[in-house]
A and B are shown apart, each in its own frame.
Chain A
Amino acid sequence: MQSLIEARGLSKDFGNLWAARDVSFQVEAGEIVGMLGPNGAGKTTTLRMLSGLLTPTEGEAFVDGHSMQHAQLEARKGLGFLTGDMDLYRRLKPIELLTYFGRLYGVSESTLKTRVDKLVEAFSIDEFSSRFCEKLSTGQKQRVSIARTLVHDPKVVILDEPTTGLDIMASEFILQFIRRMAKEESKAVIFSTHHLDEVERLCDKVLVIHAGRLVYAGTPGDLNAQTGKNTLADSFFQLVNA
């Protein structure tokens, strides 16, 4: 089976710092992969290279078989990307925003209407669809952001800390949605977070990045077995403190 995401020796040099060094992994359809690492470990840099926002100094990223460096437009069509650094257009309403991005992703007008309606229903956006995005609560904004990430029905979804700043109910809603989406629609999901419990509950595999290097790639169970610990949290601390 062809991997939907493939990182091949990704490295990024910012002049005085290698933020990522020789990071390689693959994610298959239907898999949810948690990316873990302390602040400054290189998670966001790696995700930005995967999405084409940053050009790798070395290595190459592939999305649905398309090189992000050599066939960027094709690769981006199959990718939905969301990081905590992204906000919504203040003076657009949620449905206008979804339609705007749908058009930018080349979704046909007839498909777009159906797609937007589906997302509006899935994320209960109807409750606040008449308000401008600047007037939405943090949880409502995050729901719209994730809907925006999915408006073109991408095969690959990368979510960088999607539950940060959300209350427990909003977080749970988003986690359940990610699980359903990956399993029912066979999407490949990379999910970066600082909440180890979320990874434990949600993810099939774990990638641990530390000091720019990928120090572990495998299932949470294998990681616990490898470190001899009972919880993912203990295994993670042992790995990054080693």
Chain B
Amino acid sequence: MRSHIIGTIFRKEIREVLRDKRMIFLIILMPFFLYPVMFTLIGFVGKNQEEKLSTEKVTVLLNPEAETTPIYNLLKINPTLDVKLESFEQTALDTMKSTIGVLVGEGFQSSLDSNSSATVTLLYDASKDLLETRVDAIKKSIEQLNQDLLITRLSNKQLSQSFIKPIDLKEQNIAPQNRVVGKIMGRFLPMLLLIFIFTGCIYIAIDITAGEKERRTLQTLFTAPIKVREIIAGKFLATYAVGLVSATMNVLSLLFAMTIQVKLMSDGKSDMAFTLPITPEGWAWMILIVILATAFMAAISLAVVLLANSYKEAQSYVSPLMMMIIIPAMMSQMPGMELTSSTAMIPILNISLAIGAIFQGIFNVGHIMMVVLFALLYAGVALYIASLTFGNENVITGEKVKFNALFSKK
């Protein structure tokens, strides 16, 4: 293979990409604006929702018999509850907006006085977040009352609180905060990263293969004194470069948006700093894996979309390919799923698990090396299939390329 020919093809493809406004928007501008806007919007909506949940008043209907009980006083002091003493039917509650029914059982006070249990029933629509929040607050208040009454009862019997709690169980999270952040990031970032890389690769791959077939420019290239492998290498490098730029832009924009969001949420509190438990060695592995993952994605994108005869047909391959990436990436988040010598061989899943492990700061170098080797192997296989497709006569003449014909001898 001649490097100057590959370089010429690569430069031409990149020049065309840089002149394509749609591609520039997809690769650079969209990630640059998407995440800051998305995070600001989510933060704004979330804050509004939180404010609404904490301040909006909810009507509480309490049966009149409860007026003399401590429950009435307990509910009255809550400023987010509008307590009304009136009889009600359960069916009537369904038609009322933002209303909770509280039924205090008959003989409430006498039951308490005789050291028995009194009944309080809460009636509400659990499908409404606001009512659920208020019910939680009511339950907390009643639980506190319960606790106070229990202490009184124990004291009357001259028993200490430890009498009803033989074992006092305590737990403490010893993980540093950055490891917790790493765990959260390690769960969703690998999938996002793989999607970013794929999106970056697939559209240029379509443009320079099926798009060229449709625009009838591919034949011209095949009449030049160049080898199929040189064409593939030039186009692969262009797809790879765009995929890498796209992934980098997406990740930088995402991290920037997250940092800003965390800073805004922390409101000056130092314990909410956004740090990750990744060592310099971890970063080095991460970069290598992302580079190889991009090579694999670029190769597989080329191999698949080359089978298409038109832009439209190639676009119909995007969703199934995306599924092939999302499903293994999601599998990597299943409980108990971790990077082992077996999972290190499964394409996509291995990359997702490796990135997740590096984010958490806990990884086995042997397993990561296996991921690197297998990512290289799969990229090579995908490129080989792409070269078989490109070498097929039907690609040149614009006919449909049959997948099984690629492996049959002419």
Q: Give per-residue flags for A144-162: 1 if the beta carbon is below 8 A from chain B beta carbons, else 0.
A: 0000100000000000000
Please indicate the chain B residues that have their CB under 8 angstroms from the CB of A48 in the complex. 397
Q: Which of B12, B19, B223, B410 contacts A100 (CB 8 A)?
A: B12
**Residue contact B393 to A87, C-beta cutoff 8 Å:** no
Chain A CB within 8 A of B216 CB: yes
Interchain CA distance A92-B20 in the complex, whole Å? 11
Q: Which residues of B contact A100 (CB under 8 A)?
A: 8, 12
B15 at the interface (CB under 8 A from A): yes
On whether the beta carbons of A86 and B220 are closer than 8 Å, the reply is yes
Enumerate chain A residues within 8 angstroms of B227, measured Cβ to Cβ: 73
- Closest CB-CB distance, B16 to chain A, in whole Å? 4
Do residues A85 and B219 form an inter-chain contact, with CB atoms below 8 A?
yes
Docked-complex contact A92 and B15, CB < 8 angstroms: yes
Q: Which of B12, B217, B225, B410 contacts A87, CB < 8 Å?
A: B217
Query: Taking the complex as formed, is B139 at the interface, i.e. its CB lies under 8 A from any CB of chain A?
Result: no
The interface bits of chain B over 1-33 (1 if a CB of A lies within 8 angstroms of the residue's CB, else 0) are: 000110011001001100110000000000000
Q: In angstroms, how far is the closest chain A Cβ from the Cβ of B99?
A: 64
Report how far A123 CA is from B313 CA in the complex, Å.
37
Partner of A91, one of B4, B16, B223, B396: B16
Question: Closest residue to A103 on the B side, CB-wise?
Answer: B8
Residues from chain A with a CB closer than 8 A to the CB of B217 are 86-89
Asked if A178 is an interface residue, CB under 8 A from chain B, the answer is no
> Which residues in B have their C-beta under 8 angstroms from that of A225?
none
B188: CB under 8 A from chain A? no
Considering only CB atoms and an 8 Å cut-off, how many residues of chain B contact the other chain?
26
Interface residues on chain A, size class: 20 to 34
Q: Is B398 an interface residue (CB 8 A)?
A: yes
B226 within 8 A of A: yes
- Is the pair B12, A76 in contact by a Cβ cutoff of 8 Å? no
Roughly how many angstroms separate A81 CA and B5 CA in the complex, as a whole number? 19
B16 neighbours in A (Cβ, 8 Å): 89-92
Interface string of A99-128 (1 = CB under 8 A from B): 011011110000000000000000000000
CB < 8 Å: which of B20, B215, B216, B224 contacts A104? B224
**Contact between B397 and A87 (Cβ–Cβ < 8 Å)?**
no
Closest Cβ of chain A to B230, distance in Å, is: 9
Q: Is the CB of B220 within 8 A of A105?
A: no
Chain A residues, CB < 8 A from B396: 53-54
Question: Contact partner of B224 among A76, A85, A89, A90, CB < 8 A?
Answer: A76
Q: Tell me if A96 and B223 are in contact (CB < 8 A).
A: no
A79: interface (CB < 8 Å): yes
Task: Provide the bound-state CA to CA distance between A101 and B9, in Å.
Answer: 10
Instruction: Establish whether residues B398 and A85, one from each chain, have CB atoms under 8 Å apart when the complex forms.
Output: yes
Residue numbers in B under 8 Å from A90 (CB-CB): 16, 215
Closest to B227 in A: A73
Is B317 an interface residue when CB atoms closer than 8 A count as contact?
no
Is B363 an interface residue, CB under 8 A from the partner? no
Name the distance in Å between A123's Cβ and chain B's nearest Cβ.
17
Q: Are B223 and A87 in contact (CB under 8 A)?
A: no
Q: Is B285 an interface residue when CB atoms closer than 8 A count as contact? A: no
A55 at the interface (CB under 8 A from B): yes
Contact in complex: A76, B223 (CB < 8 Å): yes
Identify which of residues 185-226 in chain B touch chain A, using a CB-to-CB cut-off of 8 Å. 215-217, 219-226
- How many angstroms from the CA of A132 to the CA of B20 in the assembled complex? 12
Chain B proximity of A88: nearest CB distance (Å): 7
Tell me if A234 is interfacial: C-beta within 8 Å of chain B.
no
Instruction: Tell yes or no: A74 within 8 A of B by CB.
Output: yes
The reply to whether B225 and A77 form a contact with Cβ atoms under 8 Å apart is yes
A91 in contact with B5 (CB, 8 Å): no
Contact mask A56-93 → B, CB, 8 Å, 1/0?
Answer: 00000000000000001110110101010111111110
Within A9-57, the residues touching B (CB, 8 Å) are 48, 51-55
Chain A residues in 8 Å Cβ range of B12: 89, 92, 100
Question: Do A87 and B216 touch across chains, with their CB atoms under 8 A apart?
Answer: yes
User: Which of A72, A88, A92, A104 is the one whose CB lies under 8 Å from B5?
Assistant: A104
A103–B221 Cα distance when bound, in Å, is 12
- List, in ascending order, chain A residues with CB within 8 A of B223's CB: 51-53, 76, 79, 81
When distances are taken between beta carbons in the complex, the residues of chain B under 8 Å from A104 are 5, 8-9, 221, 224-226
Provide the residues of chain B in CB contact with A51, threshold 8 Å: 223
Which A residue's beta carbon lies closest to that of B12?
Answer: A100
Q: Quick one: which of A51, A91, A132 has the most chain B CB within 10 A?
A: A91
**In the assembly, what is the distance between CA of A167 and CA of B393, in Å?**
33
User: Are A96 and B393 also in contact (CB < 8 A) when A55-B410, A87-B217 are?
Assistant: no
Query: Bound state CA distance, A83 and B223, in angstroms?
Result: 11
Which B residues are in CB contact (< 8 Å) with A85? 216, 219, 398
Residues in B whose Cβ lies below 8 Å from that of A54: 393, 396-397
Partner of B225, one of A74, A83, A91, A92: A74
**Neighbouring B residues of A76 by C-beta, 8 Å:** 223-225
Closest beta carbon of chain A to B410's beta carbon, Å: 7
Which residues of B pack against A, CB within 8 Å?
A: 4-5, 8-9, 12, 15-16, 19-20, 215-217, 219-227, 393, 396-398, 410
A-B contacts besides A54-B397, A88-B217, A132-B19, 7 pairs, CB < 8 Å:
A52-B222, A53-B393, A76-B223, A85-B398, A101-B224, A103-B5, A104-B221
Q: Provide 18 A-B residue pairs closer than 8 Å at the C-beta atoms, listed in order of the A residue.
A: A48-B397, A52-B222, A52-B223, A54-B396, A72-B225, A73-B226, A73-B227, A76-B225, A85-B219, A86-B220, A87-B215, A87-B217, A88-B217, A89-B217, A96-B15, A100-B8, A101-B220, A103-B8
